[in-house]
Structure 1
Amino acid sequence: MISGYIEVKEPSVAIDPAKFRKRNREQWERLRDLPNLLYTNGHSWALFRSGEQVGETAYLAGDLATAGRRLIVQDAAFKQVLRDFLSWHPAPVRSVAQLVRSIAPLCRLLRHEVLDRMGREATGIRAGQAKEEQPFTMLADEWRRLLFPTIDDHAYADAYAQTVTFALLLARSEGIDLEKLTLHEVGGKLGNTHSLMGRALQLLTDNIEQQCRVSVDLLIRAINAVDWPRIGSHREGADRHRGPAGASGSPHAAPAASTHRGHHPGLALR
């Protein structure tokens, strides 16, 4: 079971976000909302949750290049940082607002991971690797051929992350335990009541599940913590106040999962 995301920097790079510049700053802005993020340069170790540091920064004593077995823990902070990181569990999600805060950064992480994979595949193709052996590239080409002829890689990655997130949310709303099944099995069970979304989840994740293992596993853990009956009761109350225009046709209606930070119709994961 994956506990969180670890970002390893070069020893010369400080892991204080206030000191990040250029690419490291852009990367921090992309990762900062994650629920369990460990930054390290090998010497310094710091844990962040939703953009806030948890506990103290831990340090190792000794030169990383030459100390070898003489590299030692400087104080008790290192043990605490690792314990906190490895013991993380997603908090129960009992409201729509909590749902958005919990799922949105993981949906964005999946989007960026798909983009990164497609970039590596493009590099491989230019180096002579067979295009047919590049799963994300082939799947994107299939989307263009059958559905969206003009979609670019960024829009494809966004649509991919949205669809997978929505399908997992829908599966959880149907009482499917996401942590005990493979994604193919989840898609099969979901297909019993939502055939299109169940098949879509299988098509999007078969043969490429392992390549996005970190982001998908974190997404599954977060979604599995959603208390749908509680969220459903909150939404019904909100609908009574809002009137017929805001009523949902299904007690299990899932939010639209946009990974963009701009406006999205309905409830957006921003």
Structure 2
Amino acid sequence: MNAYLDSIAELAQRGDAREESHYPALDNLLNALAQAQGRTIQVTVLPKPTEAGNPDFRVWDGSHQVIGYIEAKAPGANLDQVETSEQLQRYLHTFPNVILTDFYEFHLYRNGLLLERALLARPFVAQKLKAKPPAEQVEALTHLFETFFSFALPPSFTAEDLARDLARRTRFLRDEVIRPELAQGQGPVHGFYQAFQKYLIAGLTEDQFADLYAQTITYGLFAARTRAQNSFNRQMAYALIPATIGILRDVFQFISLGKPSPQMEAIV
């Protein structure tokens, strides 16, 4: 954590760092903490297509299982205020394991509720005094990340739990990926919208299509996964969808074999 504070204090002293400039330091901290706990993780920094885009970090457990997401804000941001924003509320209703941070303070949410919080250092010291701030709640932050890394989805779902979880992910896919891509008025997703209008539902609106397309992807993935024996990824989905469901195979030919946007690829 001292090495992490050295890094972000150096950024503050330069005076020209953006939020994104802190990403490598946080990435290194995550990997160092995981290694100290005997865990193997992978961290993916996600692109943000809009202000209400994808969370900044996605953390994997090393075996194709997402541990959780981290949303970062500019150093010194009021995290309690950020918590009430539409963006973060959407994340908290979509993802069960989320950390919100300004790189100095960390809030851990589980199933939408604040579970733990820890202040590693005070941003005022770095931002205004241009000095390395002393580490404060080291034990609390260590425990917070132990809790974050230890998260795992239950080994089995009831039908109700599964339906609720799939619906939550479907809403996020619709609102944060499909609708923004439709709004561009071009590209593969907009092409599917035009095809749906022409061949299936003449009066289909963009909102209706976004909902329909998100559900098609979600439950198509579910159908494909039930036919997979062992490992599963988006590239395998197309081959696992029955040939008798032509339109679903057309959609997944793009999802599995085409080049979906980085945002859609990450969420799928």
TM range (shorter): 0.5 to 0.7
TM superposition shift of 1:165:
0.9
Distance 2:162 2:181 in 1: 29
Q: Percent identity?
A: 24
TM superposition shift of 1:188:
0.8
Distance 2:175 2:161 in 1: 22
- Which residue does the alignment assign to 1:149? 202
- Which residue does the alignment assign to 1:200? 251
> Where does 1:63-82 land on structure 2 (aligned, <5 Å)?
63=123, 65=127, 70-71=132-133, 73-75=135-137, 76-82=139-145
Greater shift, 188-197 or 79-88, is seen at 188-197
Deviations, residues 172-222 of structure 1 (Å, cap 9, x unaligned): 222444xx3442322112236755534432234531163324422xxxxxx
- Which residue does the alignment assign to 1:225? none
SS in 1 for 2:152: coil
Aligned length: 199
TM superposition shift of 1:48:
1.1
SS in 1 for 2:169: helix
Distance 1:198 1:176 in 2: 19
Deviations, residues 92-111 of structure 1 (Å, cap 9, x unaligned): 23311111232221121111
Contact 1:38 1:48 in 2 (8 A): yes
SS in 1 for 2:96: coil
- Which residue does the alignment assign to 2:181? 118
Unpaired runs of 5+ in structure 2?
1-59, 61-65
Distance 2:159 2:152 in 1: 19
Deviations, residues 105-157 of structure 1 (Å, cap 9, x unaligned): 112111122245326x62xx7xxxxx4xx333333333333333333332222
SS in 1 for 2:67: coil
SS in 2 for 1:84: helix
Match of 1:187 among 206, 225, 238: 238
Normalised by the length of structure 2, the TM-score is: 0.61
Aligned letter for 1:173? T
1:210 maps to 2:262: yes
> Relative contact order (alpha carbons < 8 A, sep ≥ 6): 1 or 2 greater?
1
CA gap 1:164/1:72 in 2 versus in 1, 3 angstroms: farther
Contact 1:114 1:157 in 2 (8 A): no
Normalised by the length of structure 1, the TM-score is: 0.61
SS in 2 for 1:16: helix
Contact 2:228 2:240 in 1 (8 A): no
Contact 2:254 2:260 in 1 (8 A): no
> Where does 1:147-186 land on structure 2 (aligned, <5 Å)?
147-177=200-230, 180-186=231-237
Contact 1:59 1:78 in 2 (8 A): yes
CA gap 1:137/1:176 in 2 versus in 1, 3 angstroms: farther
> Where does 1:28-177 land on structure 2 (aligned, <5 Å)?
28-33=88-93, 34-54=95-115, 56-63=116-123, 65=127, 70-71=132-133, 73-75=135-137, 76-115=139-178, 117-118=180-181, 122=184, 131=186, 134-177=187-230
TM superposition shift of 1:62:
3.5
Contact 1:11 1:41 in 2 (8 A): yes
Aligned letter for 1:31? Y
- Which residue does the alignment assign to 1:257? none
